[in-house]
Amino acid sequence: MSTISFADLFAEAEKYDDYWKERVILDFTTDLYQAMLKKKLSKKEFAALLGVSPPQVSKIFRGEGNFTVESMVRWANALDCQLRVHVGPKGKNVRMCDASDGYCCYASSASSEWNPIETTLTTKPEATLTYQPQGTTTLDDAKRIAA
């Protein structure tokens, strides 16, 4: 009997659309849960905002909800957030963040750890984000452009 490493299992899973669909759901529910916590809401209070039962909210956070763009927009709106979608090259770990937050969470391909970093935007078509310490001219320009 041969053994297969986790890296090999993930490499195999990444060949299938279902893997990528579940990863999007995981990223979305993680962000949604963080937004709920930031607002200091319980699942019961979030359920009341949505007009659903608390078990329905638990189902959403388990990734078992009806994940359409329409439902995801509705869930985000209930937390005064907006849904954003990003398409990027495979093989890159990308996390979106708000420039107004002053930091972004990201992981490089070689690391699964999320790290807070300062962010700026760039207009170069070959790059979607560059990183610069907060307070620099580049970050100020990025905020002005994004506003």
CA angle 44, 48, 49 (to 5 degrees): 120
| Section 70-87 average pLDDT | 92
Determine the Cα–Cα distance for residues 94 and 82; give it in Å rounded to an integer: 18
The burial class, CB within 10 Å (0-12 / 13-18 / 19+), for 60 is: buried
pLDDT value of position 95:
64
Which residue bears the tokens 């916590």? 37
Element spanning 94, H or E? none
Q: Would you say residue 50 has pLDDT above 50? A: yes
pLDDT value of position 119:
41
Q: Would you say residue 109 has pLDDT above 60? A: no
pLDDT value of position 115:
42
Determine the Cα–Cα distance for residues 73 and 71; give it in Å rounded to an integer: 5
| Section 28-44 average pLDDT | 93
CA distances from 48 to 61, 69, 135, 141 (A): 15, 21, 40, 40
Percent of the chain residues topping a pLDDT of 90: 41
What are the domain boundaries of the chain?
Answer: 6-78, 99-146
| Section 117-142 average pLDDT | 41
CATH 1.10.260.40 for the 6-78 domain, yes or no: yes
Residues 49/78, Cβ–Cβ less than 8 Å: yes
Q: Would you say residue 141 has pLDDT above 50? A: no
**Single-letter amino acid, residue 76:** A
Q: Would you say residue 120 has pLDDT above 60? A: no
Residue-wise pLDDT tens digits, 80-108: 999 988 887 777 766 666 655 544 444 33
Name the β-bridge partners of 116. Answer: 105
Average pLDDT of the chain is: 74
Name the β-bridge partners of 106. Answer: 115
Give the gyration radius of the chain's Cα atoms: 18
Determine the Cα–Cα distance for residues 20 and 43; give it in Å rounded to an integer: 26
Percent of the chain residues topping a pLDDT of 70: 61
Total-model pTM: 0.65
